[in-house]
Amino acid sequence: MGAEAFISQRASEGVKVLYGADIPASTLQVTATRKDFEGDYTLVVFPLLRFSHTSPAATGEALGEWLKSNCPEIQAYNAVQGFLNLSLSPVYWVRTLQEISADKDFGQLPPTGRRIMVEFSSPNTNKPLHLGHVRNNLLGSSVSDILKAAGNEVIKTTLVNDRGVHICKSRYAWMKRFNGATPESSGKKGDHLVGDCYVEFARMEKEDPSVMDEVHRMLIKWEEGDPEVRDLWSRMNGWVFDGFEQTYRALGISFDRTYYEHDTYLLGKELVQKGLDMGVFVRDDDGSVWCDLTDEGLDRKLLLRSDGTSVYMTQDLGTARRRFEEFSLDSHVYVVGDEQNYHFQVLKKVLSKLGFPWADQIYHLSYGMVELPEGKMKSREGTVVDADDLIEKMYNEAKEASAEPGRLSGVAEKDRDKLFRTIGLGALKYFILKVDPKKKMLFNPKESIDFNGNTGPFIQYTHARIRSILRKAEDLGLDASVDGGVVLSAKETRLVKLLAACPSKVAEAASEFSPAVIANYSYDIAKEFNQYYHDTPVLKEEDKCLLQARLTLISTVASVLRRMMGLLGIELPERM
């Protein structure tokens, strides 16, 4: 039981004794005490006044005195207006360390019974993944793992946008300008070759805008099943899928289910017809189909073009229905950039008009764009930061940063290449995930590799330092254990308090869909440990019980760091 739950439970008992009222412990508000007040946790007293019929100060004093007298774990209290600040005893924190160190699943919350689907990545097959996709993938994967740690059943999914006007652009350019080039003949990853085609089409369109007419004709032929167009589409998509898979593997990204737009857009067309039959959609004179949302403060939304071809919204309608029906979802999270905020507002409204009761269970995890010191990226102009190049750059940055004399003295030469990749990816992932998803961010590779400060490598190095101490202890035949009578120092108690907050941090990160909560919590632990280790001997401690307790404490710090950083997809090395 966490400290908040423990205090709530005992306070509930106190209210029963003092005022004869049955108050469910879950309704009491307990939070960590603010730093400018004395205490560990604070109980909000105001809701109890209707039972005590006294002032907030008197109620706080009475309950505080009862808790101190009847709970040996509570050693002191102070009542400030409507808030009761409670200080827990050293005995409580020793017991807490014992419980955390013995719990192999610490940080995993009880099952909620909820099934959540998280859609992320969702690239289109006319360009390689770039820095913007990297943030999307890292957010989606981490949020999925956090929701799972919070007790939910999670299905990680992606929708590949493999059809449409934009896809036809790269196919058309390949036919006209690339002389039958293949990944093998060009020496390029397939997604890079197709991306070159997309950039080339932008040049072609500037030279002759009428090429768009040819592209639209190609899309119509595709929807009609033209064998030649379909064969080219399938072949070039295959090149891109192979390229994507290499990038996903390098980033540690995986999916439980992959959907393809070419399989789902017809489902959307069925729903468009249903909306017409229901009278909630209208067909204009040119044959296009629209949903009028002006009475809800939005706009008219195109659902089918006049030539009968579908748009993004069409397939999103069909895909949403299929997923909720297939998996009986309690919630569906779309990880998509904030430039699509309007799209998801409309999606929910249109699904609601179609009569789907689960329309309000859709959540758009809207995140800010990633920018570079030199400005925004533009894929049509070929000015993106390619994900593969970025991964390689992070490897080189890690290699360069690790070149400092003595930095890798404990790492065998054969293991260094893997370590550089681990550090580079850890730096990339942490730098991106420590930022609140809602905020735009500026990515600086060199800054992310710093071994000091709020970075991935700093936390990785902290973990490696702890593991080194524990290996030395093992060589000396020392065991880690906690005797109930040991007395923890103030610094040790602060570390235990931080560790004890793990479950609540997981719950907070899940409720806010924010890996930044986990990232910054991990940094707080690493920073607190380094301050502790700077001032406190571990292996040199002569008191055996205290030495064993300290080994248990730092081992638990390492374990919680691994668990938390694992939720960010970051590996913590044993040696650095």
Expressed in percent and rounded to 5, the helix, strand and coil fractions of the chain are 60, 10, 30
Place of tokens 């060199």: 446
The chain-wide mean pLDDT, for the chain, equals 93
Question: Using one digit for the tens of pLDDT, what is the confidence trace for 554-564?
Answer: 999 999 999 99
Mean pLDDT of 246-263: 94
| pLDDT > 90? residue 379 | no
| pLDDT > 90? residue 409 | no
What does the block give as tokens for 465? 């330092």
Label residue 178 by pLDDT band (50, 70, 90).
very high
Question: Using one digit for the tens of pLDDT, what is the confidence trace for 135-174?
Answer: 999 999 999 999 999 999 999 999 998 988 889 999 999 9
The answer to whether 158 and 119 are in contact (CB under 8 A) is yes
| pLDDT > 60? residue 291 | yes
Main-chain dihedrals φ then ψ at residue 495, nearest 5 degrees: -65, -45
Choice among 274-278, 415-419, 468-472, 512-516 with the minimum mean pLDDT: 415-419
Mean pLDDT of 350-375: 90
Q: How far is CA 120 from the centre of its chain?
A: 10
**Helix count and strand count (H, E) for the chain:** 21, 14
Mean pLDDT of 208-215: 96
| pLDDT > 90? residue 403 | no
Mean pLDDT of 376-389: 63
Amino acid 405: pLDDT: 67
Amino acid 343: pLDDT: 95
Question: Using one digit for the tens of pLDDT, what is the confidence trace for 47-72?
Answer: 999 999 999 999 999 999 999 999 99
Question: Which letter does DSSP use for residue 368 in this model?
Answer: P
Question: Using one digit for the tens of pLDDT, what is the confidence trace for 510-530?
Answer: 999 999 999 999 999 999 999
| pLDDT > 70? residue 374 | no
Give CA separation, 79 vs 56, 75, 88, in Å.
9, 14, 15
DSSP helix/strand/coil, 532: helix
Amino acid 484: pLDDT: 79
Alpha carbon distance 507, 108 (integer Å): 10
* Crossing angle of helices 312-327 and 261-278, rounded to 10°: 90
| pLDDT > 90? residue 402 | no
Mean pLDDT of 259-273: 90
* Surface-to-core class of residue 102, CB atoms within 10 Å of its CB (0-12 exposed, 13-18 middle, 19+ buried): exposed
| pLDDT > 70? residue 382 | no
CA dihedral 301, 305, 310, 315 (to 10 degrees): 10
Catalogue all structural domains in the chain, each as residue range(s) with its CATH number. 6-88 (no CATH), 164-257 (no CATH), 383-567 (1.10.730.10)
Cα dihedral across residues 123, 127, 133, 137: positive or negative: positive
Question: Using one digit for the tens of pLDDT, what is the confidence trace for 302-337?
Answer: 999 998 888 889 989 999 999 999 999 999 999 999
CA atoms within 13 A on the CB side of 567: 33
| pLDDT > 50? residue 188 | yes
CA dihedral 403, 406, 412, 416 (to 10 degrees): -20
Q: What pairs with residue 524 in β-bridges?
A: none
CB atoms within 10 A of CB 405: 6
- Work out the percent of the chain whose per-residue pLDDT is above 70: 97
CB atoms within 10 A of CB 452: 9
Residue 319, C-beta contacts closer than 8 angstroms, at least 6 positions apart: 159, 259, 264, 267, 268
At residue 433, what is the residue type? L
Label residue 377 by pLDDT band (50, 70, 90).
very low
Amino acid 375: pLDDT: 53
Alpha carbon distance 311, 303 (integer Å): 6
Amino acid 406: pLDDT: 66
- 542-573 burial, b at 16+ Cβ within 10 Å, e below that, comes to eeeebbbbbbbbbbbbbbbbebbbbbbbbbbb
| The model's pTM | 0.91
Amino acid 164: pLDDT: 86
Q: What is 41-107 written as a DSSP string?
A: EEEE-GGGHHHH-S-HHHHHHHHHHHHHHH-TTEEEEEEETTEEEEEE-HHHHHHHHHHHHH-TTTT
Choice among 73-77, 303-307, 365-369, 484-488 with the minimum mean pLDDT: 484-488
DSSP helix/strand/coil, 161: strand
